[in-house]
Amino acid sequence: MEGDISLHVPSDAPASAPFARAKHELADSEFSAAVLSGFARRPRSIPCRFFYDTVGCELFEEIVKLDEYYPTRVEAFLLEAHGAEIAELAGQGRVLVEFGSGSSRKTSLLIGALGRLPAYIPIDIAAESLREAAEWLLSRHSDLTILPLIADFTTTRALPSVAKFHGKLGFFSGSTIGNLTQVEAQAFLANAAKLLGPDSAFLIGIDLKKPTSILIPAYNDARGVTAAFNLNLLARINRELDGDFDLTRFAHDAIYNWAQGRIEMYLVSCTQQIVRVLGQEFAFAEGERIHTENSHKYTVREFHALAGASGWRPVRAWTDPDQLFSLHLLRHG
Ligand code: AVI
């Protein structure tokens, strides 16, 4: 049987304009609102979801190849090493639903292990990356039925109708859940339980707590790719919000917050300066920081507690020999 791709948009999508364009316009106004309100607050902040414009996505693809950035490599190793066991414990014949699927590269390993699937539903806000990922996956799994869903994976309320007739296996890779606060992470897990339905399974990648000698270089690499990724937020403000940030007058910083158990990324003003955005002036003191990302790290036990609070029961956790990263299979209902 030939593979199939058909892009799905939720029923509340605007009918008059192509969804991708409408979403882009919405993203622009969301970006300006987030920057203006984030700069009015102290400490100043920009939500990390705005990292991922075209340049940011390209830089992120570079980050995942860095020697220092172990999560992607180790998660792929775990999927390869334990794919057969994951498939056996998850059970056959489930629709695979991926949250924030991005390039879907690791998903290929999981699909290979799961064998024949009724359908694969990747959920992502970026229509273009959904289309590219679907084409790439079909070149490797020619009989796969792919039903990409253009939506915000944190709030998706419904799946394409084929999902009604099968059990579901959710997949949320890369420890992206670590970029949410614990309250947001719990809300996401509860929403995912509703979306996937009774007796569903969920495979989640979680970055583990570890020495800062490993964590800090992962978020402050020698080649400065993560610095460029962080500074691209200011370049994006210049491009899209008529900003005049001088990127040489801000520096990337990544610290580990022990109390919160998370990496925090900042852009630090190197001098006292005034910057204009959308016609408004913002004064920055020397050393003043803009908070741009949290990346929470968990122990296996801490993650089980978080998942359990949203009704997910741990079935099995896999970790690598160096205890860098973990994969969790959960069940609901
Ligand atoms: C997407 N997310 C899981 C990455 C992380 O590790 O928190 C984002 C990232 N930020 C800097 N490097 C990678």
- Asked if 207 and 72 touch (Cβ cutoff 8 Å), the reply is no
Task: Please name the residue whose Cα sits nearest to atom 11 of ligand 1.
Answer: 219
User: pLDDT, tens digit, for every residue of 107-151?
Assistant: 999 999 999 999 999 999 888 889 999 999 999 999 999 999 999
Atom of ligand 1 nearest to the CA of 254: 11
Atom of ligand 1 nearest to the CA of 175: 3
pTM: 0.91
- Asked if 315 and 330 touch (Cβ cutoff 8 Å), the reply is yes
Cα 247 to the center of its chain, rounded Å: 26
- Beta strand pairing status for 44-45 and 4-5? unpaired
226 lines ligand 1 (CB under 6 A): yes
Residue among 146, 160, 175 nearest 74 (CA): 175
From first to last of its 333 residues, the chain has per-residue pLDDT tens of 345 666 665 544 333 322 233 334 444 789 999 999 999 999 999 999 999 998 998 999 999 999 999 999 999 999 999 999 999 999 999 999 999 977 778 999 999 999 999 999 999 988 888 999 999 999 999 999 999 999 999 989 999 999 999 999 999 999 999 999 999 999 999 999 999 999 999 999 999 999 999 999 999 999 999 999 999 999 999 999 999 999 999 999 999 999 999 999 999 999 999 999 999 999 999 999 999 999 999 999 999 999 999 999 999 999 999 999 999 999 997
User: pLDDT, tens digit, for every residue of 229-259?
Assistant: 999 999 999 999 999 999 999 999 999 999 9
Q: How far apart are CA 15 and CA 12, in angstroms?
A: 8
Q: How far apart are CA 125 and CA 122, in angstroms?
A: 10
